């Protein structure tokens, strides 16, 4: 069983990721993992924090001489900005000047609910942990899981579909494979599969910046190479579609998740929703369509897994919304923390990480190997078996 947690505050010493259950003897690709952290920081519309941090992972346990040990892995992404915040973020005892306390909750954030839940009088105790800076830990852990999955023949990617009112229509990319869409998105500042349309998206982001606004959008994340039968129909918490939806929905600011046709399928008759089944000696069982998004009955069906997610606009606005001071109960404009105008491209990279963690967890439940070489043999034997039936 794969266990995964993150720890750390946005302006604390660092963001940390804990992974337990990764098999021993897996050779890590450090450059790949650091490259994934770099991808999370890119994207037109990001804020000033990205100019400060240059995220790189440091392994604190579970890895020796480049290979996993089978023991818990602890990963650190240190915050360079901590030196500027040490006086108010240090763990040692100390007095915080009253003017350093945050008392104005921001609409759309965890601020108000968090202080009411925990009994705080300083919103910083909530906002530091609820910040999307936490996703650096997710991406570090997810990159390691992607690294493992790639060695098993499973590739994960993503691309942005819309930002604000500007979007890419499916008709415009229908001739492009998922890999081609991903490859083109990597060449785009906003991670769209048609880089030649970057300026339309950038103009939308620039307009929002001038108006003190923020923008959300939608993106697709996919996985190719998963054989049929991973996951289970036998219990609600083992259904892989539900686990993926929860993992992606848990990303900050994500408000909707679709698998395959998603909500569109509710508008169509069954004949236009379900994927007919075919068989050939070369392919085995296969489908000519993938409206189910690679998942049926809580299990993979051998087709690409396709998830679409919707991200709301970032709630920190430079033209702030109205709020109430938690001490005086007087109305104020909400406080402003340094923020992005648009983080949809970054969110798509985080979703890749969460999909990777979820899929590898399901794989390790099916094949609970302590040694990666044994896992790979079992995995390849299973693939051959299901493809030859």
pLDDT digit string (tens) for 162-216?
999 999 999 999 999 999 999 999 999 999 999 999 999 999 999 999 988 999 9
- Cα(161)–Cα(315) distance, integer angstroms: 21
- State the pLDDT confidence band at 238, using cuts at 50, 70 and 90: very high
List the domain range (segments joined by +) for residue 48.
3-387
How many Cα neighbours within 13 Å face the side chain of 231? 24
Number of structural domains the chain divides into: 1
Q: Mean pLDDT, the chain, as a whole number?
A: 94
Strand ranges inside 210-300, DSSP E: 217-224, 254-259, 277-280, 284-287, 295-296, 299-300
Q: Report pLDDT digits (tens) over 85-133.
A: 999 999 999 999 888 999 999 899 999 999 999 999 999 999 999 999 9
pLDDT at 56 over 80: yes
- Cα(275)–Cα(197) distance, integer angstroms: 32
Model pLDDT, residue 387 = 80
Biggest CA-to-CA distance, the chain: 74
Average pLDDT of span 20-26 = 98
pLDDT at 25 over 70: yes
pLDDT at 48 over 80: no
Phi, psi of 283 (to 5 degrees): -95, -25
CA angle 256-257-262, nearest 5°? 115
- State the pLDDT confidence band at 338, using cuts at 50, 70 and 90: low
Model pLDDT, residue 303 = 96
Model pLDDT, residue 283 = 84
Do the beta carbons of residue 355 and residue 225 sit within 8 Å?
no
Do the beta carbons of residue 304 and residue 222 sit within 8 Å?
yes
Minimum mean pLDDT among 56-70, 97-111, 197-211, 327-341: which range? 327-341
Rg value, the chain, Cα: 22
Average pLDDT of span 293-304 = 97
Q: In which order are the strands placed within the sheet that holds 254-259?
A: 166-167, 155-163, 217-224, 305-311, 254-259
- Cα(49)–Cα(103) distance, integer angstroms: 22
Model pLDDT, residue 46 = 66
Give the single-character DSSP code of 90.
-
- pTM to 2 decimals? 0.95
CATH number of the domain to which 127 belongs: 3.60.150.10
Average pLDDT of span 14-30 = 98
């Amino acid at each position: 069983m794969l266990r995964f947690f993150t720890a750390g505050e946005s302006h604390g010493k660092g963001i940390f990721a804990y992974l337990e259950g990764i098999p021993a003897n897996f050779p890590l690709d450090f450059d790949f993992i650091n490259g994934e952290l770099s991808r999370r920081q890119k994207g037109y519309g990001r804020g000033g924090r990205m100019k400060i941090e240059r995220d790189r992972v440091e392994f604190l346990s579970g890895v020796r001489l480049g290979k996993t040990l089978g023991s818990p892995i602890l990963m650190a992404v240190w915050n360079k900005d901590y030196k500027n915040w040490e006086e108010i973020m240090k763990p040692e005892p100390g007095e915080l000047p009253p003017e350093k306390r945050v008392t104005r909750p921001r609409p759309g954030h965890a601020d108000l609910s968090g202080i009411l839940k925990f009994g705080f009088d300083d919103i910083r105790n909530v906002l530091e942990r609820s910040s999307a800076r936490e996703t650096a830990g997710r991406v570090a852990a997810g990159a390691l899981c992607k690294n493992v999955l790639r060695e098993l023949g499973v590739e994960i990617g993503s691309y942005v579909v819309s930002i604000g009112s500007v979007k890419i229509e499916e008709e415009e990319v229908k001739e492009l494979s998922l890999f081609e869409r991903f490859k083109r998105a990597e060449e785009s500042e906003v991670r769209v599969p048609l880089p030649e349309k970057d300026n339309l998206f950038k103009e939308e982001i620039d307009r929002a910046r001038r108006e003190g606004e923020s923008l959300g959008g939608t993106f697709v994340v996919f996985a190719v190479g998963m054989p049929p039968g991973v996951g289970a129909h036998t219990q609600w918490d083992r259904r892989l579609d539900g686990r993926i939806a929860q993992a992606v929905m848990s990303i900050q600011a994500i408000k909707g998740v679709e698998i395959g046709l998603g909500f569109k399928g509710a508008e169509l008759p069954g004949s236009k929703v379900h994927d007919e089944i075919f068989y050939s000696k070369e392919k085995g069982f296969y489908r000519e369509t993938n409206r189910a998004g690679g998942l049926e009955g809580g299990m993979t069906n051998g087709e690409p897994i396709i998830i679409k997610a919707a991200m709301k606009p970032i709630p920190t606005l430079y033209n702030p919304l109205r709020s109430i001071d938690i001490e005086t109960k007087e109305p104020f404009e909400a406080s402003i923390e340094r923020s992005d105008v648009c983080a949809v491209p970054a969110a798509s990279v985080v979703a890749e990480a969460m999909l990777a963690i979820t899929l590898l967890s399901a794989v390790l439940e099916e094949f609970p190997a302590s040694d990666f070489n044994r896992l790979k043999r079992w995995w390849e034997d299973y693939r051959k078996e299901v493809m030859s039936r």
